[in-house]
Amino acid sequence: MPFAAAVNRHADEHPHSPAFQIEGRVFTYGELQRLAGQLVAAFDELAGSTLHRSVLGNRSRLIALEAGNHPLFAAAFLAATSNGHCVALIDPHLPASTREAMRDRLSPDLVISANGAGLSLQAPASGEMRSLRETDGNERAPLAAGAGTEPFLIVFTSGTTGTPKAIIRDRGSWRRSLATSERFFGIDSETRTFAPGPLAHGLTLYALAETLVAGAEFIGTAHFDAARSLRLIEAGAVKRLVLVPTMLRRLCAAAGGNPCASVTQITVAGSKLTTGDRADAAIAFPAAAVIEYYGASELGFISVASQNDTASATAVGRAFPGVTLSIRNDTGDEVPAGETGTIFVDSTLVSDGYVGDADGAGFRRLGRLATVGDLGFLDEDGTLHLLGRAGGMVLSGGNNIYPQEVETTLTAHPGVHAAVVLGLDHPDLGSELVAVIEPEGSAFDREALGRHLAAHLPRYKHPRRLWLCRKMPMTRSGKVAAGLLRQWISDENDGLERID
């Protein structure tokens, strides 16, 4: 069902049911519909008579949403995706120069940003601005669902040059994806969901959309804090968590052996869970089934794994419903089971690609197939193994090494909480494989880690240098800030302790 149509239906049938909660403010479906309608009316007032100036031209009005995890985010997202509009999500915590470059690339018709408890709306072409607060008047426009072929959503993903790439998706692909995930994950009006990541990023945004389409309550937070998040989960009797592995680890640690019984499902993406992660989750959330999925903003869902599908350090499960996997070599030919190549998908969930010029890497098509350049292989039984992104491969001493495989092996060791593997320039080897490790607890047994690596990886895949980091620096999306760690190594930062 279209996003706007679903919210309209829930607002008509149960207007007082909670829809969106953040920072203690709960919006009902009726309030969400009212506020979104006010925003649509304001859009028409600000830019209704102005010719479209964005990269989309006359295809759609493009609205840049730069509000972050704001109490009015859900209303703004609903308004900016209804009535034929297309929304572009920009994380307000990115550097100002990066955000300016994003806006310059898109040239949006309207920009929405946070303004205290309210929002600021700006029409760049005219320079006109308007403020909207939750308590403003009742003048509003109806929320209408657009056609499936219309542009609907632009999100940004990292480029190999460091410049974010804009990915555009039409309404039809999201509608198909939401319908599939609702059935697969069993989401209904009782599936109260907590997703603590940035709403400008795909994982949390999608959790918001699928929760609202189902008529359930979505709970977010402006900033992730494990202890505070646990209190929210318990107070709200949350049934489902959607988050990245690092956040799950923090929640399990904060639980301290005190189980939370309300959670029945945990959906994880972004990187692979370890056996230890699953064991910790079973203690902290004993009633929860843990589901991991591998996907990409450009491709949508790719594979999905339960506990029984992740025995291997590189296994990421089997094809998501409706997705067909194919491993291809450099000439585009399919390779046999067990042989490494580029992962392609045949799926109706694939995006329309990038807006404007990209960096020559990432998304590309091969007939009906599409890829983002990830490398892996398929087992005879159809299990997909992910080895890493082609551009991230390290060539060391003539050997091709995929850092993700080494990271997965490191974090499978009980003494390692998190790990980042990097390739650094080396005058003899070309690149030298190094690792930064966040230990599990205060003590760290280097010899035990060496035995673990020897049992699971050939010698050339062992990091030649190791640093301990007592608390990894994190990005706002909950992932380890690998770029910052690389800089810390170069600067000999005190946050790292050289052990090898």
Mean of the pLDDT values across residues 396-425?
A: 85
- Tell me the pLDDT band of 29, cut-offs 50, 70 and 90: very high
Coil, strand or helix at 213: helix
Sign of CA dihedral 298, 301, 303, 308: positive
- The pLDDT, as a whole number, for residue 74 is 96
- Residue 95 clears pLDDT 50, i.e. is over it: yes
- The pLDDT, as a whole number, for residue 360 is 56
Q: Judging by DSSP bridges, how do beta strands 416-426 and 430-439 pair with one another?
A: antiparallel
CB under 8 Å to 311, separation ≥6 — which residues?
Answer: none
pLDDT in tens, 353-388: 888 766 556 789 999 999 998 888 999 999 998 877
- The pLDDT, as a whole number, for residue 310 is 62
pLDDT in tens, 129-183: 988 887 666 677 889 888 888 999 999 886 544 567 899 999 998 899 999 999 9
- Residue 7 clears pLDDT 80, i.e. is over it: yes
- The pLDDT, as a whole number, for residue 463 is 94
CB under 8 Å to 354, separation ≥6 — which residues?
Answer: 165, 166, 167, 168, 362, 363
- The pLDDT, as a whole number, for residue 160 is 44
CB 324 within 8 A of CB 302: no
Q: What single letter denotes the amino acid at residue 70?
A: H
- Tell me the pLDDT band of 491, cut-offs 50, 70 and 90: confident
- The pLDDT, as a whole number, for residue 391 is 60
Mean of the pLDDT values across residues 79-106?
A: 90
Q: Extract long-range pairs of 351-354: CB within 8 Å, 24+ residues apart.
A: 351/167, 351/168, 351/169, 351/173, 351/297, 351/298, 351/299, 351/300, 352/151, 352/168, 352/169, 352/170, 353/167, 353/168, 353/298, 354/165, 354/166, 354/167, 354/168
CB 450 within 8 A of CB 456: no
- The pLDDT, as a whole number, for residue 133 is 83
C-alpha triplet 34, 37, 41: angle, nearest 5°:
140
- The pLDDT, as a whole number, for residue 113 is 96
- Tell me the pLDDT band of 51, cut-offs 50, 70 and 90: low
**Which residue in the block uniquely carries the two structure tokens 């907590």?**
194
pLDDT in tens, 181-219: 999 999 999 999 999 999 998 899 999 999 999 999 999
CA distance 474 to 244: 12
Mean of the pLDDT values across residues 37-51?
A: 82
CB 219 within 8 A of CB 232: yes
- The pLDDT, as a whole number, for residue 161 is 44
Q: Which residue has the higher pLDDT, 299 or 161?
A: 299
pLDDT in tens, 304-353: 988 776 667 788 899 999 999 999 998 999 999 988 899 999 999 999 88
33: nearest Cα among 60, 13, 61: 13
Mean of the pLDDT values across residues 4-29?
A: 95
pLDDT in tens, 240-274: 999 988 889 889 999 988 999 999 999 998 777 87
- The pLDDT, as a whole number, for residue 355 is 87
Mean of the pLDDT values across residues 87-94?
A: 91
Mean of the pLDDT values across residues 107-136?
A: 89
Where is average pLDDT lowest: 67-71, 92-96, 283-287? 92-96
Coil, strand or helix at 208: helix
Where is average pLDDT lowest: 167-171, 405-409, 463-467? 405-409
- The pLDDT, as a whole number, for residue 138 is 64
